[in-house]
A = this chain, B = another copy of it.
Amino acid sequence: MTTGVPIGKAAKRSGVKVPTIRYYEQIGLLTAPARSDGNRRHYDASDLHRLSFIRHARELGFEIDAIRTLLALQDDPNQPCATADGIAKARLADVEQRIRSLSALKTELQAMIEGCSHGRVAACRVIEVLADHGQCLHAGH
């Protein structure tokens, strides 16, 4: 039987960096793994699974606290999944909101760049638009 992999391999397999793994342990997101004689962390399959779960959730933009809740849910499969559903829905709403404002920004930045005649700053719309909020194409911010 294998004792599990050291932190470096766990990092490579899960895609979470070594110091970040230790950080997750420190804040209690990850339970402390077994240690070898030489005091080194050794991660087994379930630890790696959990790490991948965390990484994936982080990539999707879930906050640490939300992940904490999701992990707790995962450990107790008989609970109704309304909580998980709610967390995902809140995240979706957030993502949609961000896309909306970023799209507005994009339009404005494009207009700025087009307006810039590549002359002097005095005639540059980048500065001008930023200095005078009233010139914004989108009032939404």
A105-B60, A131-B52 known; A126 vs B88 contact (CB < 8 Å) = yes
Count of chain A residues with Cβ under 8 Å from any Cβ of B?
55
Q: Which of A25-44 contact B (CB under 8 A)?
A: none
A82 interfacial by beta-carbon distance below 8 Å: yes
Tell me the minimal C-beta distance from A139 to chain B in angstroms: 12
A59-B141, A105-B60 known; A116 vs B53 contact (CB < 8 Å) = no
A109, B133: Cβ atoms closer than 8 Å:
no
In the complex, what residues of B have CB within 8 A of residue A81's CB?
A: 116, 118-121, 123-124, 126-127
B130, A77: Cβ atoms closer than 8 Å:
no
A112 interfacial by beta-carbon distance below 8 Å: yes
